[in-house]
Structure 1
Amino acid sequence: MSCLQTIQDYALRSVGIGERLLPRSDFTLCEQVTLIGSGLIWNVYFGALALLFGFFLATAVALARSSHLWAVRKPAEWFIFLFRGSPLFIQFFLFYEAFVLLPKSGIELNLLFVEITADTRWLTRAWAGALIVLFLNTAAYSAEIFYGALRSVPKGDIEAADAYGLSGWAKFRRVVWPTMLRLGWPAYTNEAIFLFHATALVYFSGFPAWQQKGDALYYANYFADKTFNPFVPYPIAAVYFILLTLVIIFVFGLINRRLNRHIAPTARQRIRFRPNLLR
């Protein structure tokens, strides 16, 4: 089988398109590169959707934490503390057990965006359950970043908005929110990078891959088990994540340039990747 034929058969296998059976023997480098790259589609899915939904929730939580009302501020602080204070892997485990055991026990739980009942078995699958965990986790970390940026908004900007007669939503949308994003964007970029790296933990979580539609690490582990040689598939997965990181830095750099378009290029804060050694 030629490499081109292998790509045609397995490039989209992780989403159910192409050859259903995995190769059993005589594994080629092209098969490993293609299948691990196919699995990366799920990592991009987890990271992109969690980042998108988490961005809006993080903004709301940051605003709630900066509120003067105790009933609004405290739940936001507890949410941030809970998800930042516990390991992501433990969160995967606890949520999976909750999605499995609560319906069996006849306990129904309303999470606002979904209600856990006996009919929500789809929550135990990786494409839904793991996404929810990543979404809540990144929202907590991002909320802390945005909260710090909110506190750093210059008072002069707010006073200028008041002088122009802006108030309420108009002042937040046109002055506070853009300044908050500009100040917090470099740190938020690092959170986005780490989130995409954290999607590799989905394989080790309790959420199973449905019909062998696994992520990059799922296929890397498959080849490592079959060939007894982890020094080929795992470096391939690492290279894919490095390339993905470069794409994120490029895209977020463009957004950062847009946010700072009114500042002289020499005075702009450049985005630097600073990996989190501990989470």
Structure 2
Amino acid sequence: MSCLETIHDYALRSVGIGERLLPKGEMTLCEHFTLIGSGLIWNIYYGALALLIGFFLANALAVAKASANPWARKPAEWFIFIFRGSPLFIQFFLAYEAFVLIPRMGWDIPLGFTTITVETSWLSKAWLGALIVLCLNTAAYSGEIFYGALRSIPRGDIEAADAYGMTGWSRFRRVMWPTMMRLAWPAYTNEAIFLFHATTLVYFSGFPAFQQKGDALYYATYFAAMTFNPFVAYPVIAVYFILLTLTIITLAGLVNRRLNRHLPKERRAKIRLRPQIIR
């Protein structure tokens, strides 16, 4: 089988398009790159959606934590503390066990004249259950980043907004939020990079890959087990994630340039990769 035929058969296998059977016998380098790249679609799916949903949740958490109202502040503080204080790997396992237990217990909605039982077994699938955990985890870390930036807004900016008569939502949207984003963006970019790397933990989390449609690590592990040689498959997945990291840094750099367009060049914060060895 030529490399073009391999790409045609396996490029979209992870989403159910193409050849269903995994290759056997002699594993070529093209098969490694094609199948692991196919699995990377799921890693991008987890990372992109978790980043998008977690971004809005993180903003809400930051505002709630900075609130003077204890009914808003305390839940945000405990949410951030619990998800930052516990390992992501443990969160995956606890969520999976909880999502498996919910369908057994049933989720009945009484309507008075009848009762509807909601189907919840889809929560235990990787495409949704693992995504929920990643959303909550990155929201906690990003919320703390945004909270620190919110507390670091220069007092003069807020006083200037007050002088113009801005209050409440108008002041937050036009003055505080843009400044918060500008201050938090370099650290938030590093959190985004770590989030995409953390998507590889879904393979070990207990959430099943439906019909062998797994992520990049699923295929890398398959190749390593079939060839008894981990020094081909795992470097391939590392190359893919390095390219993904460079893409994130490039896109984040464009956003950062937009956020700091009004500042002199020497005062503009630059995006730098700072890997988190331990989390």
Same fold, TM-score > 0.5, yes or no: yes
Aligned residue number for residue 210 of structure 2: 210
Aligned residue number for residue 194 of structure 1: 194
Q: Does 1:45 align with 2:57?
A: no
Kindly indicate whether the alpha-carbon contact (under 8 Å) linking 1:216 and 1:237 is maintained by their aligned counterparts in 2: yes
Which amino acid in the other structure matches residue 126 of structure 1? Answer: A
Q: CA-atom RMSD, angstroms?
A: 1.2
Q: Distance in 1 between matches of 2:178 and 2:248?
A: 20
What secondary structure sits across from 1:269 in the alignment? coil
Q: 1:229 Cα shift?
A: 0.6
* TM alignment of 1:92-111, pairs within 5 A: 92-106=92-106
Q: 1:232 Cα shift?
A: 0.4
Q: Distance in 1 between matches of 2:20 and 2:107?
A: 38
| Deviation per residue, 1:118-166 (Å, 9 max, x gap) | 6111111110000000000000000000000000000100111111111
Matched residue count? 272
Aligned residue number for residue 31 of structure 1: 31
Aligned residue number for residue 63 of structure 2: 63
| Deviation per residue, 1:183-224 (Å, 9 max, x gap) | 000000000000000000000001010111100000000001
Task: Name the stretch that deviates more: 176-185 or 96-105.
Answer: 96-105
Q: Distance in 2 between matches of 1:144 and 1:158?
A: 21
What secondary structure sits across from 1:275 in the alignment? coil
Kindly indicate whether the alpha-carbon contact (under 8 Å) linking 2:126 and 2:202 is maintained by their aligned counterparts in 1: yes
Q: Does 1:17 align with 2:17?
A: yes
Kindly indicate whether the alpha-carbon contact (under 8 Å) linking 1:104 and 1:118 is maintained by their aligned counterparts in 2: no
Q: Distance in 1 between matches of 2:149 and 2:133?
A: 25
Kindly indicate whether the alpha-carbon contact (under 8 Å) linking 1:138 and 1:195 is maintained by their aligned counterparts in 2: yes
Q: Distance in 1 between matches of 2:68 and 2:266?
A: 38
Which ranges of structure 1 fall in alignment gaps of 5 or more residues? 110-116
Aligned residue number for residue 139 of structure 1: 139
For residues 132 and 108 of structure 1, do their structure 2 counterparts lie closer, same or farther at Cα, with a shift above 3 Å needed?
farther
TM-score by length of structure 2 reads 0.95
For residues 40 and 80 of structure 1, do their structure 2 counterparts lie closer, same or farther at Cα, with a shift above 3 Å needed?
same
| Deviation per residue, 1:5-58 (Å, 9 max, x gap) | 111111111111111111011111100110000000000000000000000000
| Deviation per residue, 1:248-272 (Å, 9 max, x gap) | 0000000000000001122211111
Which ranges of structure 2 fall in alignment gaps of 5 or more residues? 110-116
Kindly indicate whether the alpha-carbon contact (under 8 Å) linking 1:102 and 1:108 is maintained by their aligned counterparts in 2: no
Q: Does 1:125 align with 2:132?
A: no
Kindly indicate whether the alpha-carbon contact (under 8 Å) linking 2:95 and 2:129 is maintained by their aligned counterparts in 1: yes
Please identify runs of 4+ aligned residues in structure 1 that moved more than 2 A: 105-109
Which amino acid in the other structure matches residue 151 of structure 2? Answer: R
Q: Distance in 2 between matches of 1:272 and 1:21?
A: 42
Which amino acid in the other structure matches residue 44 of structure 2? Answer: V
Kindly indicate whether the alpha-carbon contact (under 8 Å) linking 2:11 and 2:37 is maintained by their aligned counterparts in 1: yes
